[in-house]
Amino acid sequence: MPLGKGTVDAPEPEAATAPDTGEYPVAKPGVPTPAQTTTGPIREQARPAQRDEIAELREQNRAIAAELSALRSDYRSMAGRTRLQSEHVQDPTRFEIDGRLDGPDGPLGRAGRLLTPHGEILTPAFIPVGTKATVKTVLPGAVADLGAQAVLANAYHLYLQPGPEIVEQAGGLGAFMNWDGPTFTDSGGFQVMSLGSGFKKVIDMTGEGGGEQPLGDDAIAEGKDRLSRVDDDGVTFLSHLDGTEHRFTPERSMQIQHQLGADVIFAFDELTTLHNTRDYQVTSLERTRLWARRCLSEHNWLTAQRRDAISLWGVVQGAQYEDLRRKAARDLRALSEEDRMSGGLGFGGYGIGGALEKANLSTIVRWVNQELEEDKPKHLLGISEPDDIFAAVEQGIDTFDCVSPSRVARNGAIYSLDGRYNVTNSRFKTDFRPLDPETENYTSQYTRAYIHHLFKAKEGLAATLATIHNEQFIVSLVARIRRSMLDGTYWEFKEEFLGRYYRGTQHHLAKSD
């Protein structure tokens, strides 16, 4: 009967239960004991001893992975060498010496020519950097017009965007950017360091705290996050574009650079900072040596399989330590000679890299070049200041690259025979002379006042005109150095140029806003 006002609810009947006969176990509420769980006892937090065991297992796994990688590398090396030897394939570049520079420290300096599959480079030569297959703000045709003989792109950046497979489909780096001259790519090793710690290539040993000791192996620049981790097999890093995780190994670097298809590529290396301890420098140097060996193996294999005409250059590390720099050079030379004796291509040349103090640049380059083969070209990575160029040329450097001429140009810094100055300073607002009255290039038809206006108005043309000027200034400086080496006027030219340049720089600084 329906319930109404004043009625009383009837009690609900008790639920029926089946009798427990023992034939079928009846589930009982409560927390299960470890023996009753399907996965066994619930694991407690690892005790210190257990954590040590886990760390040991992980170390064993890393060792096994390294052994497997070495076996794979050895197989590919042997197979690649055998095929290269049977087909008489050799390194596609050749270096010839046209003249030598005699000086108080001996005849390390030389003028020469590097012959590549895409043309000849007269050395010494400055190689503008086109990080992402472009010298920023400048058309490739303009780069050729200013006198550049080659360009260098970055494997790390092109790997992330647009991807090496895209560049390969386009016909290689040169075809992709419509550049018909020689091309270089670096390995991505510098990005490993700069992303990992945020430190620049040339840094002050005293560090931010002002002390005399290095900051340590885990030091990170102020305001930076660590985006990469190095281990003996390679580097794991986060993309600076979208935060995705990626992995570079020596083999992967070689595969990417072969897809990019430059004439000259560099072995994958670990670039340390001057804040790293000597013990870490020693460990890193051995890691870089083993990586160089793996790069040679993969390069031989890829050349044999793909028929690429690419020259692989080893990279010398060792920071500011003479014994480590010399050892690194000797080790790479031995690897190259061993590889060639076994039918491989060996290193076609060498790059000198690593963090170093400006005052020691000349000394470090000399240490290295005294150990390397004289008939191999040497490239100094990341150097473009005039005094550094002269110092390096005297110690046997043949080619240079650096982003500095274009980077500082985008901020209004201008190179001139009378020193470096910033065209955005107010005193140039009504200066109707060219950026450098004695330098001829495309930008010479525009005045300082006009380019000052472009920067103040935030017009893109400002960076274009300033970059063309700066790149041409450094390219032509190195070309003039080459001519002076051949006609016997080098020392007089050096004294005149540097004296005028740095006196002018001080003058400009004194008059800056």
According to the model, what pLDDT value does residue 66 have?
Answer: 75
pLDDT for the residue numbered 7: 44
Query: In the prediction, which pLDDT does 356 show?
Result: 81
Q: What is the pLDDT of residue 150?
A: 98
- SS3 at position 397: coil
The DSSP 8-state label assigned to residue 43 in this structure reads P
CA terminus-to-terminus distance, the chain: 99
Give the Cα separation of 260 and 168 in Å (integer): 6
In b/e form, how buried is each residue of 212-226, taking b as 16+ CB within 10 angstroms?
A: eebbebebbbeeeee
Give the residue among 415, 353, 421, 355 at the shortest CA–CA distance from 385: 415
Residues 6+ apart with CB under 8 A from 176: 133, 166, 167, 170
Which position among 233, 388, 401, 436 bears the catalytic label? 401
What was the pLDDT predicted at 443?
98
Chain centroid to CA 80: how far?
26
Question: Rounded to 10 degrees, what is the CA torsion of 254, 257, 263, 269?
Answer: -60
Catalytic residue among 186, 331, 339, 398: 186
CA distance 404 to 126: 12
- Is position 401 annotated as part of the catalytic site? yes
Supply angle C-alpha 393, 396, 397, rounded to 5.
Answer: 65
Q: What DSSP character marks residue 53?
A: H
Structure tokens at 281: 């420098």
Nearest to 191 by CA among 271, 294, 307, 295: 271
Which residues, other chains included, contact 29 with Cβ-Cβ below 8 Å and sequence gap of 6+?
A: none
Contacts of 121 (CB under 8 A, 6+ apart): 113, 114, 149, 150, 182, 399
Residues whose CB is less than 8 angstroms from the CB of residue 263 and which lie 6 or more positions away in sequence, other chains included: 92, 93, 116, 117, 118, 150, 182, 183, 184, 309, 310, 311
Return contacts of 454-459, CB within 8 angstroms, 24+ apart. 455/412, 455/423, 455/424, 456/424
Predicted confidence at residue 128, as pLDDT, reads 97
Q: Are 493 and 480 in contact (CB under 8 A)?
A: yes
The DSSP code for 34 is G
* pLDDT lower than 50: segments of the chain: 1-10, 12-18, 20-29, 31-32, 36-44, 199, 201-212
Tell me the pTM.
Answer: 0.84
Q: At what angle do helices 361-371 and 322-341 cross, to 10 degrees?
A: 30
Name the one residue in this structure whose structure tokens are 């870089």.
288
Task: Look at strands 110-116 and 94-100 and give their pairing.
Answer: antiparallel
Distant-in-sequence, close-in-space partners of 199: CB < 8 Å, separation ≥ 6 = 193, 219, 221, 273, 275, 355
Which amino acid is it at 71?
L
Q: Sheet of 94-100: strands edge to edge?
A: 94-100, 110-116, 119-123
What is the pLDDT, as a whole number, of residue 186? 94
Q: Is 292 helix (H, G, I), strand (E, B) or coil?
A: helix
